[in-house]
Amino acid sequence: MTIIVTGGAGFIGSNFIFHMMKKYPDYRIVCLDSLTYAGNLSTLKSVMDKENFRFVKMDICDREAVYKLFEEEKPNIIVNFAAESHVDRSIENPGIFLETNIMGTAVLMDACRKYGIDRFHQVSTDEVYGDLPLDRPDLLFTENTPIHTSSPYSSSKAAADLLVLAYHRTFGLPVSISRCSNNYGPYQFPEKLIPLMIANALADKELPVYGEGLNVRDWLYVEDHCKAIDLILHKGKVGEVYNIGGHNEMRNIDIVTLICDALNKPTSLIKHVTDRKGHDMRYAIDPTKIHNELGWLPETKFADGIKLTIQWYLDNKEWWETIISGEYQNYYKEMYENR
C-alpha cells in the first residue's frame, strides 16, 4: 500500500504520518509538501530516514510535477491535507486560498483519474457549515447541514468539497470527505489559538483575544482525528462525507484562562482586541454517523488533551521558538537540499 499525504509537513498531516507509520509499518508513505510558512520539515525529522518514507517538496498546483510523482509512486490512496487554512490570512489575501484549496485539489483529482487510485480523501472543515447561535446548544452540524460559509478560507474549502463530490458523480472517482472541528495537539503552528497563547504566556507577552472571547469551538485532539481518517480510508464508504467532532465545546476566553492557570501566569496578560470580520460564533459537530458506521468516538477529553498539549510545548520549546524566530524555514536547505 502506497499513500501520498499532501500537506504532510503541517500540523495535522505530520501527526497523521506518525500515526500511519506506527500502525502500518508495511505501508509506504510519501509526503508531498510545498513548505510554505506553515510547513515545517523538521517536524518530520524522526521519519525522514525510514525506508518506507519519502518526502517530496512540491506544490499541488504544479500539474506536471504531480503527474510525474504519480507515475513514479503509483499510489493507492491520496489523503489531501494540503491547504491554506488560517482565516485571518484569507481575509487579507483570498487569492492564494482559492488557488491552493480549489485548483490544487482539482490537479490532484485529475492525477487520480489519469493514473488510477483506490481512494482520494479530502480533509475538510466544519467551517463550511458557517456557525451556530450561542443560545441553541441543542443545535449541531450534521452531514446534512447546508453549506453556509463565512470567510474566503471556508468558502475555498466548501468549493473543494463540492468539486470532490462532483468528480465522484461525473467521473466515478472513489472519494471520501471528512469535516473536522478545531484540532489541537503537538506540532501546531504557533499562529493558532492554543499554541499562540502558550508561547505568549511563557514569554509574558499579551494574550490577544478577539472581542469578548465568547466564541465557542468544538475541540478535537489531533490523534483522535488521525484515527478517524484511518478508519474512513479502510472502512468508510466511497462518496460519503463524515463529520469528526470532539464533543469538547469551549469558549475561547475559557481556554486562554485555563492556559494562564496551567502556566501560573496572570490573566492580566489577556488583551481583548477588535473582533475578526465575519467571526463565527459557535461550531459544534455531531459525529453520530462516523460512530454508527465505523465505531469511532473521540478518546481524549479536553481536560486531558490540553494538559498533554501544554506539556508538549514545554518539552519542545526549540521546535516552536525556531518558528517564531523564522529560522525553521532554513531547515530544508540545511538538511534536505544536499541529501
* Beta carbons within 8 Å of 232's beta carbon, 6+ residues apart: 121, 176, 178, 242, 290, 294
pLDDT in tens, 276-294: 777 778 888 999 999 999 9
| 337 pLDDT higher than 80 | no
Q: Alpha-carbon distance 187 to 320, whole Å? A: 8
Q: Active site includes 331?
A: no
Q: How confident is the model at residue 334 (pLDDT cuts 50, 70, 90)?
A: low
**Would you give the end-to-end CA distance of the chain in angstroms?**
25
Burial of 261 (0-12, 13-18, 19+ CB in 10 A): exposed
Q: What pLDDT is stored for residue 275 in this prediction?
A: 74
Q: What pLDDT is stored for residue 163 in this prediction?
A: 98
| 328 pLDDT higher than 80 | no
The number of helices, as runs of H, and strands, as runs of E, in the chain is 13, 12
**Which residue type occupies 189?**
F
Q: Active site includes 153?
A: yes
Average pLDDT over residues 124-141: 89
Q: How confident is the model at residue 339 (pLDDT cuts 50, 70, 90)?
A: very low
Q: How confident is the model at residue 137 (pLDDT cuts 50, 70, 90)?
A: confident
Q: What pLDDT is stored for residue 246 in this prediction?
A: 82
Q: Active site includes 218?
A: no
Find the catalytic residue in 33, 84, 129, 153. Answer: 153
Number of residues in the chain: 339
Find the catalytic residue in 59, 84, 126, 249. Answer: 126
| 88 pLDDT higher than 90 | no
Q: What pLDDT is stored for residue 87 in this prediction?
A: 65
Q: What pLDDT is stored for residue 28 in this prediction?
A: 98
Find the catalytic residue in 33, 84, 127, 218. Answer: 127
Average pLDDT over residues 318-328: 82
Where would I find the beta strands (DSSP E) of 222-325?
Answer: 240-244, 249-251, 270-273
Q: What pLDDT is stored for residue 44 in this prediction?
A: 96
pLDDT in tens, 195-246: 999 999 999 999 999 888 988 889 999 999 999 999 999 999 999 999 999 8
Maximal C-alpha separation, the chain: 57
Mean pLDDT of the chain: 91
